[in-house]
Amino acid sequence: MKNLIVIRNLALLFAVAAGVALWSGCGQQGAPAGKSGALSSSAAEKVYVAPGEKDEFYAFLSGGFSGQVSVHGLPSGRLFKIIPVFSVDAEKGYGFNEETKAMLNTSHGFIPWDDAHHPELSQTNGETDGRWLFINANNTPRIARIDLSTFETVEIVEIPNSGGNHSSPFTTENTEYVVAGTRFGVPYPQQDVPISSYAEKFKGMLTYVKVDPETGHMDIAFQILLPAFDYDLAHSGKGKSHGWTFFTTYNTEQKHSLLEVAASQRDKDFIAAVNWKKAEEYLAQGKYHEVPARYALNRYDDETHMATSTIKDKVKVLIPEECPGMVYFLPTPKSPHGVDVDPTGEYIVGNGKLSADLTVHSFTKMMQAIENESFETVIEGIPVLKYEDVVAGVVKEAGLGPLHTEFDDRGYGYTSFFISSEVVKWKVGTWEVVDRVPTYYSIGHLMIPGGDSRKPQGKYLVALNKITKDRYLPTGPELCHAAQLYDISGDKMELLLDFPTMGEPHYAQGISADRIIPRQKKFFKLEENKHPYAAKGEKEGRVERKGNEVHVYMTTIRSHFAPDNIEGIKVGDKVYFHVTNLEQDWDVPHGFAIMGANNAELLIMPGQTETLLWEPKAEGVYPFYCTDFCSALHQEMQGYVRVSPRNANVALKWWLGEEEPVQ
Amino acid sequence: MKRLPQILMLLASLLLAGLFIWPMWRITLVAPQYPNGVTMYIYINKIGGESESTLQNINILNHYVGMKPIVPESIPELQYFQWIVLGMIVLGLLAAIVNRRSAFLAWAVVMTVLAAAGLYDFYLWEYDYGHNLSPDAPIKIPGASYQPPLIGTKTILNFVATSLPHTSGIMAGLAIVLALAAWWLKGKTESDEKAPARRARRAGARVHAIA
Ligand SMILES: [Cu+2]
């Protein structure tokens, strides 16, 4: 095994050496340029959003291992909201209240955490439309949809036959599909086999999830069975290449141990080009295999204010050998990481992460090569095109460790280089490098609003960095992750701002605020509330017992609960507080917290109903209160529940104020 | 030109129909926490706001200082005022049909009296809401009252309240002006018409005298 290291080429050794130097925090060439004093006062002016003013762009940053999405403003970098997606969030009761538990259901049961990587905005005609944001869960493969009128997660679909959902969700240009390519080969079907049977038993699945154009509802349309390569990243074609999706691969060596060496041997891996319109035709012709596959489909309804989880049991699988013309492999040097398509749809950029070059393929040349049937070889029914036939150009020695490319609207590409820790700007078509700027430190993804769509808005670029080292006040062993904002409107990129982020930001998306603001929901209309336990007025406030289950129909309005005194609860009861917020105004949530609750609080938006389960374990009188400072009388917004022994004879009663207790 | 007064009278009565479409008055409350203000619209037959929930939101604010909730169903004026307006439209149309000066003036006078009575009534309601406070109010400020202005701007605690006539209120005012204009023009055209006749009568008398 050691011998393998020796035969690695010099460039790679240099690359790794540079990386190590960086990680140890020294040897950063050009570092002083970005240090204090380098920023001109005009940079400060460019990011200064005066008190009361609003940012020009929304930025949606993945929370990485936090499992969530954070919403920032650009150019200020200010954090507005953390949207819980794949991880429970006690603050919002997400995954704790009875309504949202189903959102985190999977074929493996309830999962309270995941690793969220790539936010992707919905598009219409290749342009971000501000309707939805999709994001993938890497660990237990899933795709979530966030509604940008409520900024809440409204749907999560699990991806079966997959392991490590990394090349996902990357929409098509009219949000026909979001995709999910498996990063880890897994046995197909999943079964107990020796790991060493990888080459024979393991497969790599690409999944196409259909998105309903009206409702946004997702479900799996079909899967495509491929060799057990590692499908790393993806982007769909646009314009002339609309109808295709490109997935990068690594580990085409199909190794399963010490991949850092074993999977870095080949000179070239592949970009898999999938003709999904062709796949649709085969699907229509019935050329699919319906195979058993358990996966959860979880939907949240804004009228019942409740999620439901459905377990599905089969998927349609297409096999390339039976479906000619559906998948091709494009040889691409050195374990390409990101694959990015320029705004015209002509150029497909493979960011060969273990090299210094970027390889750019031409869609036109690819189509020509397919027409000429000029194939190097065929792997499992998938023709491998010839590198020389498809390559359009190479951005030569641009930096070390290229990962991702985004585009502006002036014909330039911007590529992140992890090892040399910089962003490099190059011209599409001539492939010449025109500018470079350091990042602090080790940039992963980068983002330009609309930078992966047909209509980039090339004013700002956000670098999403992997480490911060000495950039911020230290916070113990774990330091913050951070993003950096660059002005790219001129010839030279200019660093404007550093700002910390939540979790580890992977990819991000940006969009003009004016595409989001008009969609905002200010509150939920009470008359549209279809929650089965809603109390739409104080008169509907009541307590009902069914055996040891107690249902409290409670309302909130500034500044009291109704009812706020409850007696007749017994030790061992399961008490469900169904709290309806009667407010009908923007920005007036109420909270609900009760002593001894083993879950979390409720944070109920106006017009919404949420339910907290409380199981009192000892007799006594327990206070509850509103947790969200709602008014001048917020501190008075409180109440009591009396808990009696299991065999007690205390009648069930409830009241508010000095009215006679209701029985 | 001869028909102008009649047309003006017709327009005056039709302008009142606006009361059934647009609000006649609005009260806007602006505070630091309500930068865009909370606006309440008063119609001839209902009280509304920018949204269906405005009234609820205003009532929530008002209850801190012990003001009664505004419940449109309990305000009788909102029930019967619309019938008076309907009556005035009919009377205005009749006045236009009979096309008599005195009818125009009578209509304008009645309208003015009704408008004045309406404004006084509005003032009384405002006074009642602003002064008749619950003794259990959570926030009690000695000597304070919360009566919004009848017309104009006034600071009430953290709010700046502005009360102004709105579309159909202005239209109703314009209706009075048009009716008065019709009355005045009618007088002018009638005297112009009668003038030659008088001259002719006088001339006739002279002829008789000579004969
Ligand atoms: Cu509250």
The alpha carbon dihedral of A214, A216, A221, A227 has a sign of positive
- In which residue ranges of chain B is pLDDT below 70? 1, 195-211
Q: Do A585 and B57 touch (CB under 8 A)?
A: yes
Q: Do B139 and A584 touch (CB under 8 A)?
A: no
Distances (CA, A) of A638 to A634, A658, B33, B56: 9, 15, 24, 22
Put residue B150 in one of left, alpha, beta given phi > 0 → left and psi -120 to 50 → alpha: alpha
- Residue intervals in chain A for CATH 2.130.10.10: 57-519
| H or E element, residue B183 | helix B167-210
Give me the architecture of the A57-519 domain, per CATH: 7 Propeller (2.130)
Determine the distance in angstroms separating the CA of A516 from the nearest CA of chain B, rounded to an integer: 20
Chain A residues within 8 A of B53 when measuring between CB atoms: 523, 584-585
State the pLDDT at residue A10: 38
Q: Which of residues 563-602 of A touch B (CB under 8 A)?
A: 583-585
* Nearest-CB residue to A633 (from B51, B52, B138): B138
Rounded CA separation A483/A475 (Å): 17
Instruction: Give B72 Cα–ligand 1 centroid separation in angstroms.
Output: 27
Rounded CA separation B34/B166 (Å): 21
- What are the tokens at A339? 């694959």
Rounded CA separation A461/A483 (Å): 10
Contact indicator for A59, A508 with CB cutoff of 8 Å: yes
Instruction: Give A571 Cα–ligand 1 centroid separation in angstroms.
Output: 28
> Of A627, A472, A433, A605, nearest to A526 (Cα)?
A605
CA-atom Rg of chain A in angstroms: 27
The partner residues of A542 in beta bridges, in order of sequence, read: A553
pLDDT, tens only, B29-84 = 999 888 889 999 999 999 999 888 999 999 998 999 999 999 999 999 999 999 99
A651 interfacial to chain B (CB closer than 8 Å): no
Q: Do A584 and B138 touch (CB under 8 A)?
A: no
A633 interfacial to chain B (CB closer than 8 Å): yes
Residue A8 sits at φ, ψ, to 5 deg, of -65, 145
Give me the architecture of the A526-655 domain, per CATH: Sandwich (2.60)
Size of interface A-B (CB pairs under 8 A): 21
State the pLDDT at residue A36: 46
Rounded CA separation A297/A145 (Å): 12
State the pLDDT at residue A9: 40
State the pLDDT at residue A105: 98
Rounded CA separation A556/A551 (Å): 16
Amino acid (one-letter) located at A583: E
Rounded CA separation A178/A169 (Å): 5
b/e map A233-257, b = 16+ CB within 10 Å: bbbbbbbebbbbbbbbbbbbbbbbe
State the pLDDT at residue A26: 38
Determine the distance in angstroms separating the CA of A32 from the nearest CA of chain B, rounded to an integer: 45
What residues does the ion ligand 1 have nearby, CB within 5 Å?
A: A 590, 626, 630, 637
Chain A residues within 8 A of B36 when measuring between CB atoms: none
Amino acid (one-letter) located at A302: D
Rounded CA separation A654/A539 (Å): 12
b/e map A116-142, b = 16+ CB within 10 Å: bbbbbbbbeebbbbbbbbbbbbbbbbb
Search chain A and give the residue with CA nearest B59. Answer: A558
Distances (CA, A) of A584 to A528, B53, B127: 12, 6, 27
A536 interfacial to chain B (CB closer than 8 Å): no
Residue A638 CB neighbours (<10 A): 14
**How are beta strands A218-227 and A306-318 bridged, if at all?**
parallel
Rounded CA separation A659/A538 (Å): 13
Collapse the DSSP code of A104 into the 3-class scheme (helix H, G, I; strand E, B; otherwise coil) and give the result.
helix
DSSP secondary structure string, A27-66? Answer: --TTHHHHSTT-S-HHHHHHH---TT---SEEEEEE-BTT
| H or E element, residue B210 | helix B167-210
Instruction: Give B37 Cα–ligand 1 centroid separation in angstroms.
Output: 22
The alpha carbon dihedral of A507, A513, A519, A522 has a sign of positive
Rounded CA separation A180/A206 (Å): 6
Determine the distance in angstroms separating the CA of B53 from the nearest CA of chain A, rounded to an integer: 6
Q: Do A632 and B138 touch (CB under 8 A)?
A: yes
Rounded CA separation A526/A367 (Å): 55
A632 interfacial to chain B (CB closer than 8 Å): yes
Contact indicator for B59, B38 with CB cutoff of 8 Å: no
Rounded CA separation B112/B177 (Å): 10
Rounded CA separation A505/A486 (Å): 17
Rounded CA separation A53/A47 (Å): 12
Distances (CA, A) of A421 to A34, A399, A442, A484, B165: 12, 9, 4, 12, 65
Rounded CA separation A7/A12 (Å): 10
Instruction: Give A265 Cα–ligand 1 centroid separation in angstroms.
Output: 61
* Nearest-CB residue to B60 (from A523, A525, A558): A558
> Of A64, A63, A81, A44, nearest to A516 (Cα)?
A81
Q: Do B56 and A584 touch (CB under 8 A)?
A: yes
Mean pLDDT by 10 residues, chain A (663 residues): 39 42 39 48 90 97 98 98 98 98 98 98 98 98 98 98 97 98 95 95 97 98 97 96 97 90 85 98 98 97 97 98 97 93 97 90 98 95 97 94 97 96 97 97 96 98 94 94 96 96 95 98 96 97 97 97 97 98 96 98 98 98 97 94 96 85 52
Contact indicator for A343, A299 with CB cutoff of 8 Å: no
DSSP secondary structure string, A165-197? Answer: EEE-----TTSSEEEEEESS-EESS-----GGG
* Nearest-CB residue to A557 (from B60, B64, B139): B60
Put residue A93 in one of left, alpha, beta given phi > 0 → left and psi -120 to 50 → alpha: left
Rounded CA separation A224/A209 (Å): 12
Q: Do A632 and B57 touch (CB under 8 A)?
A: no
Chain B residues within 8 A of A636 when measuring between CB atoms: 138
- Prediction ipTM score: 0.81
State the pLDDT at residue B51: 87
Chain A residues within 8 A of B138 when measuring between CB atoms: 632-633, 636
- Residue intervals in chain A for CATH 2.60.40.420: 526-655
State the pLDDT at residue A39: 56
Distances (CA, A) of A350 to A446, B59, B66: 15, 62, 69
Q: Could you tell me where the beta strands, DSSP code E, fall in A200-285?
A: 202-211, 218-227, 230-236, 244-250, 268-275
